[in-house]
Structure 1
Amino acid sequence: MDPLLLGALVALATILVLFSGVSVAIGLLIVSAGFLIVFDGVRSLELMPEILFGKLNNFALLSIPMFIIMGASIASTRAGADLYEALERWLTRVPGGLVVSNLGACALFAAMSGSSPATCAAIGKMGIPEMRKRGYPDGVAAGSIAAGGTLGILIPPSVTMIVYGIATETSIGRLFLAGVFPGLLLVGLFMAWSLYSTWRSGQAGVLGAGSYTWREKFEILPRVVPFLLIILGVLYAMYGGIATPSETAAVGALLCLVIAMVIYRLWDPRALWVVLRDSTRESVMILFIIAAAGVFSYMLSSLFITQSIAEWIGTLEVNRWILMGAINIFLLIAGFFLPPVAVILMAAPILLPIIETAGFDPIWFAVVLTINMEIGLISPPVGLNLYVINGIAPDISLKTILTGSLPFVACMVIAIILLCLFPGLATWLPDAVMGTGF
């Protein structure tokens, strides 16, 4: 059978299997095994266990559970509430400052926890009621938190970037650096829209509940600064050549646990068990998807699907930006239905040869891909962040939350366009810190 037609059959079968309700990892294994049996014979399955476990034989994978523990220990405390309160105290006299402080808290907490749902829950529980109480539109209140939560998969340290780096054999350190300026760009665009929307609704003069003394402003900082110092320390150790990403992640996880125990009195063994249990569950899920995606990639390569698609794309006389536009549409649609980790692991084996053939930088493409995945987090039918916000504020309809999130989707699209026009936004910092080699 023609490999391109076979590739279309694989895509259709994968969609049908995943929509059946089975987990992503099991679905990928079912599709891989089925096509290998039909086209390569039953004996081809002998290699599956070796490929499955061989994919996990990567030292860089140790950073995933460590960063997850790091985020879980933060999310299990009042760090989010303290971060929100600290920014609110410092920005309370700024017109529209409450929505800015919420977005700033989302960005910082997302960077610390690396989890979009955790960010929405931690910041939204305080931020949404407070914004509504002070007259901010429901759409701005809900949409800003939903969008702000997505920043966790872009701003380093990011588990999504680690997965992309492993899937494409790309430097994780360079990927982390590549997400810094685009992450700040998105924060700026989110803040700009929120302030404009607030001004348009006549709430530009909304101030905080009252003024705070300098003592009140500074007294909350000791509960927030240690976590920020850990993030900066992890990044410094990684880029200063002091330690590998896995080593820095392990130290960061330990320090976050210690600070959670010291500052927030997380002494109860049951609370610590919940942190470790949830971290283990999420880590195993991600690692299982990575292993299954390795088998899926082997199947695509064994049946010459990946090579044929790359060769076919190379023969097309199509402008490379039209090609990139088509890839973005594909990623958007995939992100509407699947979690970011699954999309990256499934799409990377096919897309990486294509973007390299077209002359695109894989580091730059990682940022574009991640922003597409962010859009999926606040877009139906899955739109995980939308449902988290609806759970926090059930009296705000899902339609209102979605409507409030759409302008932030537009901000993300603008960010992608700016990255296409100025790729240095993603590539300059990695090149400046780590050199121009890959």
Structure 2
Amino acid sequence: MMELHWVAAILVGALFLLLALGVWIGPALLAVGIVGMYLSDAPAGAILATTSWSSSASWTMTALPLFIWMGEILFRTRLSDDMFAGLAPWVERLPGRLLHANVLGCGIFAAVSGSSAATAATIGRISLPELKSRGYPESLAIGSLAGSGTLGLLIPPSIIMIVYGVAAQVSVARLFIAGVVPGLLLMLLFSGYLVVWSLLNRGAIPVSSHRQPLGERLRATFRLLPVVLLIVAVIGSIYAGFTTATEAAAVGVVGALVIAAAGGSLNRATLMASLLGAVRTSTMIFFILLGAAFLTSAMSFTGLPAELAKWIGQAGLSTASLLIALTVLFIVLGCFLDGISIVLLTTSVILPAVQAAGLDLIWFGIFIVLVVEMAQITPPVGFNLFVVQGLTGRDIFTVAKASLPFFLLMVVATALISLFPELVLSLPRAMTAR
């Protein structure tokens, strides 16, 4: 077999060539895997057959289409209207006022969707027109929505956490619980920025013309009750140990159907649309997962992951240097690939090095999600940028510029969990100790 550096160059070159030609990510990964098998003289056909089965025959992975379906159902309800109406009265007196509804609304919807794009689209379709009609700064409205929409990846249940958990062979339930505190931390940073900006630019935020009495605010808050109960049912059942992630996903689907039926938005058309949306998204993810698993097998035959881990160990990189290097790598990849593809493409290569550095794989999963969140608002392929662009009609670079402060706040959050790992690990450890 040829030298490893030539093997690596051929595989990387083949992958970027296929992606540049517009080949879908799943087939591109399969094709590069075949090239890797050929270079290592491995039986590609037999390994593809066994890899296809082993990568999909996972009980944990059944949670993926269920959580996607739950988000698709809720996306077609009046949930965004209810959340804005329920949150608006309580943020009126905060500096920044209704801008906080973007952050809080995205945080709440993230806890029942698991998708970054769906979170931004659902909240944005009601919040952006409201904020525009009331005279709020467009850049803050756009930036806070694009940034807060990424919470769909971090706050459980998260689709990308399920993908990482299967790829890294760690508990998805523990990953979900590990994402709670970092998710709340990121929401706090976003709202804190809005407060500081508003205090420094007092004339830019419109003055409230109506103060609702307490009774009205409480009545509006009742519109949040269904989604809050659904969050408690899904996340609370996992934390209490009553359900696995897959069982909690089934509970979530039933709860989403009940909410849709109670709100009058559940009919044959919306049910079929939600099912087809879930099937399309799930099939795409499973195809990418299959391609990534096959490429992983091919790379193991070439010996590249083991050699990379050995090189990193001999290079004497500190943990901080390794994390900085990986952060830059993920952000660069995020300019061209979606988050799930990034995780599946890199996990097999970097996990040996991560384990050699002594990093906890649960903590590293949250680290990856945070960095992939940054990729969601980096041009030219940041998915949230496209979603917000579609809602506003602004060009993608205007949206990216408005999102920049929130990108930097994600960098701060990543630094904080690196300096204080207990922000991530305290709840999973408490869960294990129960």
TM-score normalised by the chain length of structure 2:
0.95
SS at match of 1:224: helix
Q: 1:203 to 1:369 in 2, by over 3 A?
A: farther
What is the identity, as a one-letter code, of the residue corresponding to 1:308? E
SS at match of 1:139: helix
> Whole-Å Cα distance in 2 between the matches of residues 83 and 418 of structure 1?
30
What's the offset of the Cα at 1:271? Answer: 1.3
What's the offset of the Cα at 1:205? Answer: 6.0
Contact in 2 for aligned 1:162/1:172 (Cα 8 Å): yes
Which residues of 2 match residues 27-42 of structure 1 at below 5 A? 27-40=28-41
> Whole-Å Cα distance in 2 between the matches of residues 111 and 4 of structure 1?
43
CA displacement, residues 61-99 of structure 1 (integer Å, 9 cap, x when unaligned): 110011111111111111012101210022223332211
What is the identity, as a one-letter code, of the residue corresponding to 1:167? A
Contact in 1 for aligned 2:30/2:291 (Cα 8 Å): yes
Contact in 1 for aligned 2:379/2:396 (Cα 8 Å): no
Q: 1:409 to 1:265 in 2, by over 3 A?
A: same
> Whole-Å Cα distance in 2 between the matches of residues 216 and 75 of structure 1?
26
> Whole-Å Cα distance in 2 between the matches of residues 417 and 294 of structure 1?
31
> Whole-Å Cα distance in 1 between the matches of residues 397 and 34 of structure 2?
41
Contact in 1 for aligned 2:128/2:142 (Cα 8 Å): yes
Q: 1:317 to 1:94 in 2, by over 3 A?
A: closer
What's the offset of the Cα at 1:273? Answer: 0.4
Q: 1:44 to 1:252 in 2, by over 3 A?
A: same
Which residues of 2 match residues 200-239 of structure 1 at below 5 A? 200-203=200-203, 206-239=206-239
CA displacement, residues 333-368 of structure 1 (integer Å, 9 cap, x when unaligned): 112211111111111111111011011111111111
Structure 1: gaps spanning 5 or more residues: none
Which residues of 2 match residues 282-361 of structure 1 at below 5 A? 282-361=281-360
Q: 1:431 aligns with which of 406, 429, 432?
A: 429
Structure 2: gaps spanning 5 or more residues: none
What is the identity, as a one-letter code, of the residue corresponding to 1:338? L
Q: Which residue of 2 aligns with 1:410?
A: 408
What's the offset of the Cα at 1:204? Answer: 6.8
Contact in 1 for aligned 2:11/2:35 (Cα 8 Å): no
Q: 1:122 to 1:229 in 2, by over 3 A?
A: same
What's the offset of the Cα at 1:134? Answer: 3.2
What is the identity, as a one-letter code, of the residue corresponding to 1:277? L
> Whole-Å Cα distance in 1 between the matches of residues 203 and 41 of structure 2?
65
Q: Which residue of 1 aligns with 2:190?
A: 190
What's the offset of the Cα at 1:169? Answer: 0.2
Contact in 1 for aligned 2:103/2:145 (Cα 8 Å): yes
Are 1:369 and 2:368 an aligned pair? yes
Q: Point out the more displaced range, 5-14 or 180-189.
A: 5-14
Q: 1:44 to 1:128 in 2, by over 3 A?
A: closer
What's the offset of the Cα at 1:397? Answer: 4.4
Contact in 1 for aligned 2:86/2:223 (Cα 8 Å): no
Q: Which residue of 2 aligns with 1:378?
A: 377
Q: Which residue of 1 aligns with 2:79?
A: 79
> Whole-Å Cα distance in 2 between the matches of residues 121 and 64 of structure 1?
20
Contact in 2 for aligned 1:94/1:207 (Cα 8 Å): no
Q: Which residue of 2 aligns with 1:401?
A: 399
CA displacement, residues 255-312 of structure 1 (integer Å, 9 cap, x when unaligned): 21122112x2134211110011101111111111112211111001111111111111
Contact in 2 for aligned 1:93/1:207 (Cα 8 Å): no
Contact in 1 for aligned 2:377/2:400 (Cα 8 Å): yes
Which residues of 2 match residues 141-160 of structure 1 at below 5 A? 141-160=141-160
What is the identity, as a one-letter code, of the residue corresponding to 2:197? S
> Whole-Å Cα distance in 2 between the matches of residues 21 and 209 of structure 1?
52
What is the identity, as a one-letter code, of the residue corresponding to 1:410? L
SS at match of 2:121: helix
> Whole-Å Cα distance in 2 between the matches of residues 383 and 281 of structure 1?
20
> Whole-Å Cα distance in 1 between the matches of residues 125 and 238 of structure 2?
33
SS at match of 2:40: helix
Q: Point out the more displaced range, 63-72 or 250-259.
A: 250-259
CA displacement, residues 80-124 of structure 1 (integer Å, 9 cap, x when unaligned): 121012100222233322111221111111222122222222221
Which residues of 2 match residues 232-271 of structure 1 at below 5 A? 232-262=232-262, 264-271=263-270
> Whole-Å Cα distance in 2 between the matches of residues 18 and 45 of structure 1?
23
Contact in 2 for aligned 1:88/1:208 (Cα 8 Å): no
Q: 1:387 to 1:32 in 2, by over 3 A?
A: same
